[in-house]
Amino acid sequence: METHPRVVRTNNFIGDAAGFILKQARKAMSERNEFRIALSGGNTPASVYARIAAEARDLPWQLIRFTFGDERCVPPDDPQSNFRMARKNLFVPAAVPEKSIMRMRGEIDPQTAAHEYQAQLDAIATEHGERIYQHDLILLGLGDDGHTASLFPGTAALEEMTRRVIANFVPKLNAWRLTFSFPLINHARQILFLVGASKSPRLIEGVLAGDQQFPAARVNPAAGEVTWMIGE
Ligand code: 6PG
């Protein structure tokens, strides 16, 4: 059964986004004594991560497992690295323990990095008797072309229906990316799209209307809930 996304338009984007994420964290930890969250990259989430680090000093970070929905194929200190952005805004200020962070190794061969990351997720899933690793919450952004994670229009990764983590060559960027596939994304309990006020309202409406030309419109967890947090 496909659930309809919840749309929250707010002029307190950072506060409301951070509040939503912390609420999900506390709920997951009270129910399952862990919180599995996949971070999104790009620019929009940086201020939200910084707010979380500032507000949640009391959080039992050792119960949280951070994964990444996608990563650029660059070293972790590269300005393009999503890991670098998360480390600067969240991991360092909140003193998140190393063992709570699963970094996609953007600095090695993309296929190897994707395979390695998927194997890490699969090992945890198997430990918990899960067929596919189930995230409590996956954060996603929205690109101006309707991409999400690194699932760009017209790229091979859109068609992947088996593997969970793939290397995806993006011609428009002339670059490789590592990304979750739709099967992994659509297995999450909760999805939160973080969309800043600068994003085109027409694009947002098109995605919300389910226009399949936009990869973001194909995020549709069978049993999960989708929330759109849109800055005004
Ligand atoms: C990435 C992101 C990507 C991002 C969108 C929006 O690695 O770039 O995961 O999917 O969320 O491109 O990016 P902005 O937040 O910078 O607009």
Among 82, 84, 148, 182, which is best to mutate for testing ligand 1, by the most ligand atoms less than 8 A from CB?
A: 148
Predicted pLDDT at 3: 66
Q: What is the pTM of this model?
A: 0.98
Among 13, 39, 40, 177, which is best to mutate for testing ligand 1, by the most ligand atoms less than 8 A from CB?
A: 40
Predicted pLDDT at 83: 98
Q: Rounded to the nearest whole angstrom, what is the distance from the C-alpha of residue 148 to the centroid of ligand 1?
A: 7
Ligand 1 in contact with 146 (CB < 6 A)? Answer: no
Among 39, 84, 147, which is best to mutate for testing ligand 1, by the most ligand atoms less than 8 A from CB?
A: 147
Predicted pLDDT at 1: 47
The residue whose CA is least distant from atom 7 of ligand 1 is 41
The letter for the amino acid at 15 is: G
In CATH, 6-231 is 3.30.565.10: no
CB atoms within 10 A of CB 19: 17
Q: Which atom of ligand 1 is nearest to the CA of 140?
A: 11
CB 78 within 8 Å of CB 65: no
Ligand 1 in contact with 141 (CB < 6 A)? Answer: yes
Give the separation between CA 65 and CA 34, rounded to whole angstroms.
8
| Residue ranges of the chain whose pLDDT lies below 50 | 1
CB 221 within 8 Å of CB 188: yes
Q: Calculate helix-pair angle for 13-32, 45-55, nearest 10 degrees.
A: 60
Predicted pLDDT at 2: 55
User: What contacts 112, CB < 8 A, 6 or more positions away?
Assistant: none
Annotate 102-129 with DSSP letters as a single string.
----TTS-HHHHHHHHHHHHHHHHHHTT
Q: Rounded to the nearest whole angstrom, what is the distance from the C-alpha of residue 228 to the centroid of ligand 1?
A: 15
Q: Which residues are paired to 165 by β-bridges?
A: 180
**Helix, strand or coil, per DSSP, at residue 21:** helix
Give the separation between CA 141 and CA 200, rounded to whole angstroms.
13
Give the separation between CA 192 and CA 225, rounded to whole angstroms.
9
Q: Rounded to the nearest whole angstrom, what is the distance from the C-alpha of residue 140 to the centroid of ligand 1?
A: 8
CA dihedral for 132, 133, 134, 140, sign (positive or negative): negative
- φ/ψ of 21, rounded to 5, equals -65, -45
Q: Rounded to the nearest whole angstrom, what is the distance from the C-alpha of residue 96 to the centroid of ligand 1?
A: 23
Give the separation between CA 232 and CA 228, rounded to whole angstroms.
12
Q: Which atom of ligand 1 is nearest to the CA of 150?
A: 10
- The conformation of residue 149, written as its DSSP 8-state character, comes to T
Nearest one of 10, 80, 24, 11 to 52, comparing CA atoms: 24
